[in-house]
Amino acid sequence: MEAVGAQRRRRRGARGPPRPDARNRRFPGSSADPTCEDDVVRKPAPLAQALAKSPAPAAAKDAIQDVNDLTRRELNHAAADNSLWVDYCGDLFFVDAAHPHADDAAGADTHDTAQAAPRVDAASVPANVLDLSSRPDSDHTIYLDFTGGTVSGTAWNTPQWTGAYGTPIDVTPYSITAPADLNFTAAERAEIYTAWATVSEDYAPFDVNVTTLPPSTDALTRYSLDDSTYGVTVKVTNSGPIYASCGCGGIAYLDIFSEVGAQSYNPAWVFTAGTTTSGYELAQAATHEAGHTFGLSHDGTDRNDYYSGSGAYAPIMGASYSRRVSHWSNGEYPGADNYEDDVAIIASQAPKLFDDHGDNAQNATPVAAGETIDGLIGDRTDIDAFSFTGEGESPSPPPDRPACPTPTCRSAFSTPPAPRSLSSTRSASPARSTRPGRRTCRATPGATPPSWTASATATPPSPVSTATTARWVATPSTST
């Protein structure tokens, strides 16, 4: 069955609210007074619990259905997810579980290091990690805010989180060691860079800018259905009053990314007290929480709200902490309870990018000797083909070789082939590399005449990472 975010978006169209006033009713007067016209529930709580404790459960169900554009059957299905909460006004948000080792004294270093991504090379970390952008020309933005500040006039400034309506939330900057300020240490800069690069990789197939550079209010706010510029903020902080109440890894309102006038539902939150300060681990939560703002629900099973995966793999909208491989899902794993197409839902608000390379030998992108070509595997059907010309001769073509088994792989023609046109297929690994967002495969022909041409294609294996970036290099050898 489709999850609640997909159901709402399917009925109301690709973008925009079901009614112009459906979400704006939270602020009938001043945006500094985050109250409802009429409270739907006594206080925010898991949806099923809130309905059970409501003095008028039928009326509460009607109101929540109306606010979220759901049928009664869909509402009952949504209530089965214990991490889906409802607020005073009847709007839905997710309170996501913390990292299983978040409370360990050593933090990120105590989790399953066999599955964790290697640390980034310190030399690759820029001096300024608050000026990073994956697609600066995009009209759509995911702002990763590590700088702290004050949040006021939002759906978060309510008694559940702050003790009283309108109380500002003071947010501390991301930090590993005291003091928590903007003078980030080298270790903190490395983790911020890792987090940005990892989230950028997850959203690489889409027209959206993942940035740490503070955008303008206009860049994040959608003022009308004709406004094509909008986005969401994901605040990364150590803890604070919301974390003190939820004890969670992250928290975000559902389906607000392209909502008209939805800035009062910003930001989404990631708490390092619940994720660890590891850039890779907090990035799992940041990608996940941003996914909720696009309208994505959880990838779980009939027994668990989250599917934690198998081996090194887990779906992004499941529980991908400590998993080396994660991807957008459509319920392809055993026991799935959510068959929504994550890629299609995101693309309805941040369109997929145009295919960057042809998909067969006839349309292959030529690669000159020593040239590096970047490629993006955008979805399950995308194939990127590359061709190169080398020198060599042999009585037989190179033997068939298996798909590249690791994020960084080498496919070598150790024996030069006969002078003929060849086509060989190699699969780009779905795992992230030691440098997030980058994968390298090398095709190395011999150097003996006459000339020959080969094409190599990158195609996603299953399960596929929908944000797989492949790098191919044609490197002529100096000997056979």
CB 339 within 8 A of CB 329: no
Measured CA to CA, the distance from residue 10 to residue 242 in angstroms comes to: 31
- For residue 468, the cross-strand partners are 377
Q: Are 280 and 272 in contact (CB under 8 A)?
A: no
User: What pLDDT score was predicted for residue 78?
Assistant: 87
pLDDT tens over the chain, length 480 residues: 455 655 554 433 333 333 333 443 444 333 344 567 778 888 899 999 999 888 888 899 999 999 888 888 888 888 899 999 999 899 999 999 999 887 764 444 444 444 555 567 777 899 999 999 999 999 999 999 999 999 999 999 999 898 888 899 999 999 999 999 999 999 999 999 999 999 999 999 999 999 999 999 999 999 999 999 999 999 999 999 999 999 999 999 999 999 999 999 999 999 999 999 999 999 999 999 999 999 999 999 988 999 999 888 999 999 999 898 899 999 999 999 999 999 999 999 999 988 889 888 888 898 888 888 888 887 778 888 888 877 665 555 555 544 444 333 333 333 333 333 333 333 333 333 323 333 333 444 433 333 333 444 444 444 333 344 444 444 443 332
* DSSP-derived secondary structure for 153-216: SSTTSSHHHHSSTT--EEEPPP-SSSS-SSS--HHHHHHHHHHHHHHHHHTTTBS-EEESSPPP
The amino acid sitting at 224 is S
Helices 186-202 and 279-293 pack at an angle, to 10 degrees, of 40
pTM score over 0.85? no
| Residue 167 confidence (pLDDT) | 92
β-sheet bridge partners, residue 469: 376
Residue 82: which of 235, 270, 297 has the closest Cα? 297
Residue 66, Cβ neighbours under 10 Å: how many?
A: 14
Q: Name the phi and psi angles at 24, rounded to 5.
A: -75, -10
The pLDDT score that the predictor gives to residue 369 is 83
Strand locations in 1-113, DSSP E?
45-46, 84-86, 92-96
pLDDT on residue 94: 96
Q: What is the pLDDT of residue 245?
A: 92
Beta-strand pair 140-145/384-391: unpaired
pLDDT computed for residue 361 by the predictor? 84
Q: Which residues pair with 142 in a beta bridge?
A: 210, 232
